[in-house]
Every structure is written in C-alpha cells, then in structure tokens.
Amino acid sequence: MTKSDLIEKISEIYPYMNIKNVEKVISIVIGEMIEALKSGRRVELRGFGAFSIRYRKESLGRNPRTGEKVLVKEKKVPFFKAGKHLKDMINGVAVSVDSQL
C-alpha cells in the first residue's frame, strides 16, 4: 500500500471529507512520526507496532565494484517491531480488529 492508496481508501470510507484535507492529515501524521524519530523518541501504534531508531557503529565495508575497503560511518537507522495483534492477524489467528485497536 502506498501513501496515495491510503489517502484514496480513507476518502472512500469518509466521502464527506475533502481529499486535500485527507492528504494534509496523512502528511501531518507521517511528518510528526518522522520528527519524533529524528529526536530519538519511539513511535508506538497500539496493535500495529512500534518504530524506533537503532544505531549502527562505524565499520569497514567493501566497494562492490573495486573490492576496495571503505570506512562506513556510524549512522542511525529506523527499526520497526510489529505488535502482537498485527502478527496474529497476518498469521490468521482469529482476533477481533476493533478489540485491539
């Protein structure tokens, strides 16, 4: 599912909402999630999962073309851990959608 697909789906469910407003809301939600992660905070969506930042140490890598060793600087990478409810739904475990979200 893409951002456009999500906007379209929400617009179908709530036809009285202007599509531009739906786009704005989705952009605000995603923007706030990004800002939280950038500042080192965790983002949790109950029943879905949690986003956090993990740190990768500086390491030696290889240039795939030349085979030359290259220093890879330390960096932050986003990490997602799926929630139990999401895992259960994907694996076909009978769980009420409304009871967990």
pTM for the structure as a whole? 0.75
pLDDT at 96: 62
Instruction: Find, among 58, 51, 61, the residue nearest to 83 by Cα.
Output: 51
Write out pLDDT tens, residues 44-92: 999 899 999 999 999 999 999 999 999 999 999 999 999 999 999 999 8
* Percentage of the chain modeled with pLDDT above 90: 89
pLDDT at 101: 53
pLDDT confidence bin for 93, thresholds 50/70/90: confident
Which domains, ranges and CATH numbers included, belong to the chain? 3-94 (4.10.520.10)
Check residue 30 and give left, alpha or beta (phi > 0: left; psi -120 to 50: alpha).
alpha
